[in-house]
Amino acid sequence: MKNIKDYPKYEKISKEQIELMAAAFNRYLGNMRETLGVNKEDVAFCEEALLEIIELVWKRHIYFQVFHKLNGLNELKEASLYCFWILKMQPFAWLNAVKPNYKLNSIIALQIFTKGLYFYAEKKGKKVNMNKLTFEELYYSFRYRDWSKEAIMDLASSLIIQ
Amino acid sequence: MSYFSEDATERFHERDNRVHNSIARENPDEPLFEALSNYKGSYEEARFDGKSIDETFRDMLAKV
């Protein structure tokens, strides 16, 4: 019989690991900013919150590894989790502009979610079932409705079709 | 209320751990955003009312 203390304990994400992931995230955000035509001086993010988000998603990665006999989260679920935590923690903010930050955070969350959908669908030889209406509904929903991590992951799966 | 039968606990123990129905990740150690940064494909080809997804995002940002 195993006792609780026989099971492994979570070890904080290593400095090297989080640096690697933060650098990749930063590069992605830089590309996104350029693609969406946002000036570098116009938007900032809370480093503490983003690092925490990276670790929270990493923990879920480990959870899947341990409990679901899988090699961590697939990319669709991971993108969904980033989407959830950005909506929750609102790490992005406008600088020098009187604009609502919650809309900015919803757009960034939706961009990551959408990119994750297309990336995953293409990798699996499938398609994304999304049109302008779905897109606008999601944007509204991400701003005003309640979402759970699991609901966003399930939503993502339901938008992938043969 | 009855006690748990021995059969039930045996069946429970013999049952496989639930295997998640999602497809496992091929390269779990590659940071997601590394993969997404390098990805060019149907995301860029998709059109919503004739506009690319990023153009749609630009329109949304302009309205914020």
In a domain, A5, yes or no: no
> CA torsion sign, A118 to A40 to A104 to A46?
positive
In a domain, B15, yes or no: no
Q: What CATH number should be reported for the domain holding residue A36?
A: 1.20.120.1870
For A91-112, what is the mean pLDDT?
A: 95
A162 token code pair: 């043969």
| Chain B partners within 8 Å of A141 (Cβ) | none
Q: Is residue A94 within 8 Å of A42, Cβ to Cβ?
A: yes
- pLDDT, tens digit (0-9, with 9 covering 90-100), for A57-95: 999 988 888 887 777 789 999 999 999 999 999 999 999
| Chain B partners within 8 Å of A132 (Cβ) | 48-49, 56
In a domain, B45, yes or no: yes
In a domain, A9, yes or no: no
CA distances from A126 to A6, A99, A123, A129, A157 (A): 42, 38, 8, 10, 11
In a domain, A28, yes or no: yes
| Chain A partners within 8 Å of B31 (Cβ) | 20-21, 24-25
In a domain, B60, yes or no: yes
In a domain, B24, yes or no: no
In a domain, A6, yes or no: no
In a domain, A86, yes or no: yes
Q: Write phi, then psi, for A43 (nearest 5 degrees).
A: -130, 140
Q: What is the least distance, in Å, from the CA of A112 to any CA of chain B?
A: 9
Total domains, chain B: 1
- The residue among B36, B42, B56 with the most chain A CBs within 10 A of its CB, best to mutate, is B36
In a domain, A1, yes or no: no
- The ipTM of this complex is 0.90
- pTM of the shown model: 0.92
Burial of B50 per CB tally in 10 Å (0-12, 13-18, 19+) = exposed
What is the domain extent for residue A102?
14-161
What is the domain extent for residue B56?
31-64
B51 forms beta bridges with B48
Half-sphere exposure of B21 (CA within 13 A, CB side): 3
